[in-house]
């Protein structure tokens, strides 16, 4: 959980740097968590242990979910599959909803509250920062400023990830490192600057200045 616990997660490409960590989770009717539950507070190093079926994976799903990971990566075909249900009758009930709120602690600053809610029977998503309704773009931008890259999923190392990385070829590793570092977002700007440079060179406008 490198970026989520904030040990040293700087996104230099966008000028963001995180020195915080997850303080606690507040969940309601998410996966196996019936009703409203508070998980935490977490310390600098926290181990979650328990037998098979105790809900350890559901905790990781909750963290991934609130940080914007798609349902396809959360062992659920649709978001509505993530809402707690005791039986099929529960699954068909109207007004079903679930949410996960991640409380992010920053030294010498106020806590940040990231909340993602599953709304409606179709299972849509609603995002809030400190209780304020925002778009996914704004939500993702705030996470990026903390060094949390949803697309690269750099905040969790899940079972099988190490083996997957070890089996990648050099090109695939380059793509992964670009995603994690955030440099992928600068590709377009870099390409445009390269084109500008080439045009100027063609017109003889680029000069080398020697000391």
Hey, how many other C-beta atoms are within 10 angstroms of the C-beta on 2?
Answer: 16
What are the φ/ψ torsions at residue 21 (nearest 5 degrees)? -160, 165
Q: Using omega within 30 degrees of 0 as the cis cutoff, is the peptide bond preceding 41 cis?
A: yes
Does residue 170 or residue 27 have the better pLDDT? 27
What confidence tier does 8 reach under pLDDT thresholds 50, 70, 90?
very low
Is 67:102 a contact under the CB 8 Å cutoff? yes
Is pLDDT of 145 > 80? yes
Is 18:9 a contact under the CB 8 Å cutoff? yes
pLDDT of residue 208: 52
- pLDDT single digits (tens) 39-61: 999 988 888 888 888 888 889 88
Is the domain covering 9-158 a CATH 3.40.50.300 domain? Answer: yes
What confidence tier does 117 reach under pLDDT thresholds 50, 70, 90?
very high
Closest C-alpha to 115, from 18, 10, 30, 11: 30
Lowest mean pLDDT among 98-107, 113-122, 132-141, 202-211: 202-211
Domain ranges of the chain: 9-158, 160-211
For residues 121-138, average pLDDT: 88
What confidence tier does 113 reach under pLDDT thresholds 50, 70, 90?
very high
> What is the Cα–Cα distance from 148 to 183, expressed in whole angstroms?
14
């Amino acid at each position: 959980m490198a970026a989520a616990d904030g040990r040293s997660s700087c996104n230099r490409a966008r000028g963001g740097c995180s020195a915080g960590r997850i303080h606690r989770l507040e969940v309601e009717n998410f996966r196996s968590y019936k009703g409203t539950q508070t998980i935490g507070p977490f310390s600098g190093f926290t181990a979650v242990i328990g037998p098979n079926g105790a809900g350890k994976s559901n905790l990781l799903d909750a963290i991934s979910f609130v940080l914007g990971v798609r349902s396809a990566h959360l062992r659920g075909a649709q978001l509505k599959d993530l809402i707690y249900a005791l039986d099929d009758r529960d699954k068909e009930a109207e007004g079903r909803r679930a949410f996960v709120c991640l409380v992010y602690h920053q030294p010498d600053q106020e806590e940040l509250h990231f909340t993602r809610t599953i709304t409606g029977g179709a299972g849509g998503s609603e995002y809030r920062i400190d209780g304020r309704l925002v778009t996914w773009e704004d939500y993702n931008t705030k996470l990026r400023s903390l060094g949390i890259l949803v697309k690269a999923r750099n905040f969790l190392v899940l079972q099988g990830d190490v083996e997957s990385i070890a089996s990648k070829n050099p090109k695939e590793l380059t793509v992964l490192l670009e995603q994690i570092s955030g440099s992928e977002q600068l590709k377009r700007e870099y390409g445009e600057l390269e084109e500008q440079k080439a045009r100027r060179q063609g017109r003889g406008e680029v000069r080398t200045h020697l000391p």
